[in-house]
Amino acid sequence: MNSIIQNLRTAYHAVYQGEPLLVRAPGRVNIIGEHTDYNEGFVLPAAIDKAIYVAIGKRADQEIHLRAQAFQAQVVTDLSSVRRSEISWANYPLGIVDQLQKNGYHLGGFNLMFDGDIPIGAGLSSSAAVECATIFALNEIFQLNIPKIEMARLAQRAEQTFAGVMCGIMDQFASLFGKKDQVIKLDCRSLNYEYAPLKLDGYKIVLLNTNVEHALGASEFNTRRAECELGVSWVQAHYPEVLSLRDATANMLEQCVAPKDEMIFRRCLYVVQEVERLLEAYKDLQRGDLAALGKKMLQTHAGLSEMYEVSCPELDFLVDAVRDHPAVLGARMMGGGFGGCTINLVRADAVDMLIETTSRAYRQAMGLELSAYIAQIEDGVSALS
Ligand code: GLA
């Protein structure tokens, strides 16, 4: 058993006594399909070997005691006074409690302590993992019988209402539905999904963390979402059947959006192209054509950087630094943007060298340290015995 779990159990004993239920909920990578989920397109995520662990137990009263080991901090409230907190980490579990109560699920008081090894602000969805671990744990101890798909929706809603990010469903879905060595092709409109084996054939998924987290991330994210919705409303005026960018074509955007606003046009065109690109990339993956997939990852990065404008100099630097390397098939920024990680497809025997040279170049150019992880694809949420 890993040391995080052992320490969490020991800490739970010391603070709350009793034997807790332990739950693991992983972070995620996304192979391709960025900023497509809230446009009802497709995404291609997978759960990884970095996770949030929750230790939870019932209380005899109506109180909620939350502890984040990483911050050595505690928040106490009770079931009848759950509201957004000034303390940002507390909003993830509190948002879940709020959603459960609003949807008619009956809870009692509980103690919840969490820790994990997902780097915060790295674009690996540590916040979704806290939400998913919490909802899964509460479902277990209070026997709520919530279907997993409903957990994903409630956790997404918790993020939107308590963390204030108008996110799509990808992160929560991946943390709950991940499967070892499989990617999930998720249709974010119907929520139909299928798994496909991630056959990497001597390649590794390498995450390069810029270690920058731009404060504008959340507000820019919400702005992008609004820009997409504005574009859709202009298309709808001519094509009422278009309900989201999922339904739009480049021609429709040329006709209805380009004449009105060049920037909104660029945003929408990126999304329309990315939805198409994902469908092609999924075929590449199934065919085992990693080189073709890698090229599309680079195209996605260009779109995110130049058209959707959610990259930053550090992310662009890291993609540029590796893109022509013979052992690198593809590279792009991953997740919401404005910081966090790039995801890279790198030949296994070249990984160490690549990390070393890129770290040096990054330090020289940006004056920052790089962190690198090799992502293993693992199962989604589970209770630990
Ligand atoms: C964040 C959001 C997701 C998704 C990605 C971008 O991770 O939480 O819903 O929109 O950004 O693809």
* Ligand 1 atom index nearest CA of 123: 7
Residue 385: what pLDDT? 77
Residue of 28, 29, 35 to mutate, ligand 1, most atoms within 8 A of C-beta: 35
Q: Quote the ligand 1 centre to 385 CA distance (angstroms).
A: 31
Residue of 171, 173, 229, 310 to mutate, ligand 1, most atoms within 8 A of C-beta: 171
Q: Quote the ligand 1 centre to 353 CA distance (angstroms).
A: 31
pLDDT bracket for residue 217 (50, 70, 90): confident
Residue 59 gets which letter from DSSP?
Answer: -
Q: Quote the ligand 1 centre to 125 CA distance (angstroms).
A: 9
Burial of 196 (0-12, 13-18, 19+ CB in 10 A): middle
* Ligand 1 atom index nearest CA of 34: 12
171 is a catalytic site residue: yes
pLDDT tens sequence across 134-192: 999 999 999 999 999 999 999 999 999 999 999 999 999 999 999 999 999 999 999 99
Residue of 32, 37, 126, 184 to mutate, ligand 1, most atoms within 8 A of C-beta: 37
pLDDT tens sequence across 9-32: 999 999 999 999 999 999 999 999
* Ligand 1 atom index nearest CA of 170: 9
* Ligand 1 atom index nearest CA of 36: 12
**Three-class secondary structure assignment of 335-369:** CCCCEEEEEEEEEHHHHHHHHHHHHHHHHHHHCCC
Q: Quote the ligand 1 centre to 46 CA distance (angstroms).
A: 13
- Which percentage of the chain shows pLDDT scores above 90? 97
Q: Quote the ligand 1 centre to 34 CA distance (angstroms).
A: 7
pLDDT bracket for residue 121 (50, 70, 90): confident
- Amino acid identity of residue 283, one-letter, is K
Residue 108: what pLDDT? 98
Evaluate whether 94 touches 77 at the Cβ level (below 8 Å): yes
**Which one of 37, 98, 115, 171 is the catalytic residue?**
171
Identify the residue whose C-alpha is closest to ligand 1 atom 9.
168
Cβ-based neighbour number of residue 26 at 10 Å: 29
Q: What is the pTM of this model?
A: 0.97
**Three-class secondary structure assignment of 191-205:** CCEEEEECCCCCEEE
Q: Helices (H), strands (E): how many in the chain?
A: 11, 13
pLDDT tops 90 at residue 248: yes
pLDDT tops 70 at residue 216: no
Identify the residue whose C-alpha is closest to ligand 1 atom 2.
167
Handedness of CA 200, 315, 37, 99 (dihedral sign): positive
Residue 213: what pLDDT? 83
pLDDT tops 80 at residue 359: yes
- Amino acid identity of residue 50, one-letter, is K
Query: How large is the average pLDDT for residues 85-114?
Result: 98
pLDDT tops 90 at residue 321: yes
Query: How large is the average pLDDT for residues 101-116?
Result: 98
- Which percentage of the chain shows pLDDT scores above 70? 99
Give SS3 for 184.
strand
Q: Which two tokens stand for residue 374?
A: 């090799």
* Of the candidates 66, 79, 82, the residue with the CA atom closest to the CA atom of residue 12: 66
pLDDT tops 70 at residue 1: no
* Ligand 1 atom index nearest CA of 38: 10
pLDDT tens sequence across 325-350: 999 999 999 999 999 999 999 999 99
Residue 116: what pLDDT? 97
- Pocket, ligand 1, Cβ cutoff 6 A: 34-35, 37-38, 125, 167-168, 170-171, 335-336
pLDDT tops 80 at residue 271: yes
